[in-house]
Amino acid sequence: MTSMLMTLAQADGDKALAVAGAAIGMGIAVLGAGIGIGRIGGQAVEGIARQPEASGRIVPNMIIAAALIEGVAFTAVVLSFVLTNGLK
Amino acid sequence: MQLILAVTDPLEHVLPHTYFGTHVTLFEHVFPINITNHTIMIGVASLMMIFIFPALFSKPDSNAPSGLKNLFETILEFMRNEVFTPCLKEHTDAFLPFLWTIFFFILFCNVLGCIPFPEIFTLLSGGTIQHLGGTATGSINTTATLAICAFLFIHFQGLTVLIRDLKHGTYGHKSHDGLRTHPLGEGDEYGEHQPIHGKKMSTGQAIVSAPFIYLWNFAPHPFKEVGLWADLPMWAGLLLLELVGAVIKPFALCMRLFGNMVSGHMVLAALVGLIVATPSILAQIGIGVPIMPLDLLIQLLEILVAFLQAYIFAFLTALFIAGAVAPEH
């Protein structure tokens, strides 16, 4: 993979490497979001399995927590896209 | 065929396209003012709200609601009773117009973006009208403006309620307990300040001292029993964190809404672009057969995300207003 990055850097100078770094950064940010939201979903489903009557209270809280984490992931994706001038 | 190829470029699908652009030069800086398709969609969503809500809800009506009125009344009542009232217990009705407006504006903008108006108008007009439509909240300018409105509203209302409490001398009382006050000489476990019992300030005094008291209330007050110097670094760190958080929370609102709206459309356009990019017609049919149902499901997910993001924005704004107006004593 490093040889691919070196080829990219020699081809176009700094812009190509910056965009490649942005793409890698986006992937890592989404990785964290996936882990977090997966944990929330799992714990919520486990809570519903223990007490099915509480599902009406658990599900909105799960959705809100998932949206908060996803907000951070989207911030990372948007900023890594915009700050490397991918959106001219 | 070329024009259909043009609209499946995923980036061009979500970027704003200017209809009318001009420049304003103030203090030797050039500010561009552009009327883009996103601006037009903001206008469409606002006109929809201006025409729908007064027509349905201006007259008090004791009949059971039906049709469109039933739909909107269900949503409005659900937002009020289940979402806003648990956060802002007694201040709900004061802030309800703003929160309802924000919710419905974002909802209409998101759902209008899910309907493919640009492609419909392009096909109907044979290629002359391009990009007439789009997701208004898919532009960072719109969501940043909404976040700035929420930020100004939150802190303006925090200061206003504080000024009103200072003027009436009810600052520090818990009104949902029936104006029970802390007796003098007994602090809570966090060393709360002694409330100003019934001390009424004049309007000028209240307005001048309100920003300082508001900023003082951002962080938990330093302990009085443990010793001021032992607790000062933690208090300073918490105050800094809260002040930074006051700016970052609306910023996160803006980014969350923008990212959700843009990413849905880009994924959809990229998948459709896969079909167009394959060389032979047989391969296009072959790859189109799985992609079209997948696109349909992703579009349904996008509609869910449209409703959800409007709900999340309104709910988080209500939560931040509750934190600013009635800081947990």
Distance CA A18, CA A44 (A): 39
**Domain-embedded: residue B147:** yes
Question: Are residues A67 and B308, on separate chains, in Cβ contact within 8 Å?
Answer: yes
B191 domain-assigned? no
Residue span of the structural domain in which B26 resides: 2-54+67-153+219-325
- Count CB atoms within 10 A of the CB of residue B244: 10
Tell me, what's the pLDDT at B156? 92
B71 located within any domain = yes
Q: Is the pTM of this model over 0.95?
A: no
User: Residue B189: what pLDDT?
Assistant: 42
Task: Return the pLDDT at B42.
Answer: 94
In a domain, B76, yes or no: yes
User: Which chain A residue shows the shortest CA-CA distance from B252?
Assistant: A71
Task: Please provide the average confidence, as pLDDT, over all residues in chain B.
Answer: 82
Better-scored residue on pLDDT, B208 or B5: B208
pLDDT tens-digit series, residues B110-158: 999 999 898 888 888 887 888 888 899 999 999 999 999 999 999 999 9
Total number of domains in chain B: 1
Query: According to the model, what pLDDT value does residue A34 have?
Result: 95
Domain membership flag for residue B181: no
Chain B residues at the A interface, defined by Cβ less than 8 Å, are 11, 15, 140, 251-253, 255-256, 258-260, 262-263, 308-309, 312, 315-316
CA distances from B147 to B59, B85, B114, B175, B252 (A): 32, 22, 22, 30, 9
Question: Which ranges constitute the DSSP H helices of chain B?
Answer: 2-7, 10-14, 37-57, 68-78, 85-87, 92-114, 117-124, 140-168, 203-216, 228-277, 281-325
Domains and CATH numbers, chain A: 17-80 (1.20.20.10)
**Contact A63/B at CB under 8 A:** yes
* Pairwise CB contact (< 8 Å): B256 & A64: no
Residue pair B79/B314 in contact by the 8 Å Cβ criterion: yes
- Report CB contact under 8 Å: B259, A72: no
Question: Tens digit of pLDDT for each residue in B254-282?
Answer: 999 999 999 888 888 888 888 877 778 88
CA-based nearest distance A71→chain B, Å: 4
CB contact under 8 A, A78 and B252: no
Q: Which amino acid is at B287?
A: I
B62 lies in a domain? no
The pLDDT value given to residue B1: 47
Among A83, A72, A73, A71, CA closest to A27: A73
Assigned domain for B72 exists: yes
Q: Residue B298 above 60 pLDDT?
A: yes
- For residue A67, the chain B residue with the least C-alpha distance is B312
Non-local CB neighbours of B59 within 8 Å, separated by 6+ positions: none
Average pLDDT of the residues in B292-321: 93
- Nearest CA of chain A to the CA of B166: how many Å? 35
Nearest to B255 among A63, A67, A78 (CB): A78
Instruction: Give per-residue pLDDT as tens, A29-84.
Output: 999 999 999 999 999 999 999 999 998 889 989 998 998 899 889 999 888 888 87
Closest listed residue to residue B162, CA positions, set B244, B217, B117:
B217
Q: Do B260 and A70 touch (CB under 8 A)?
A: yes
Residue B320's contacts (CB-CB under 8 Å, 6 or more residues apart) are B150, B154, B249, B250
For chain B, percent of residues with pLDDT exceeding 90? 35
Query: A78, B15: Cβ pair inside 8 Å?
Result: no
The count of CB pairs under 8 A between chains A and B is: 40
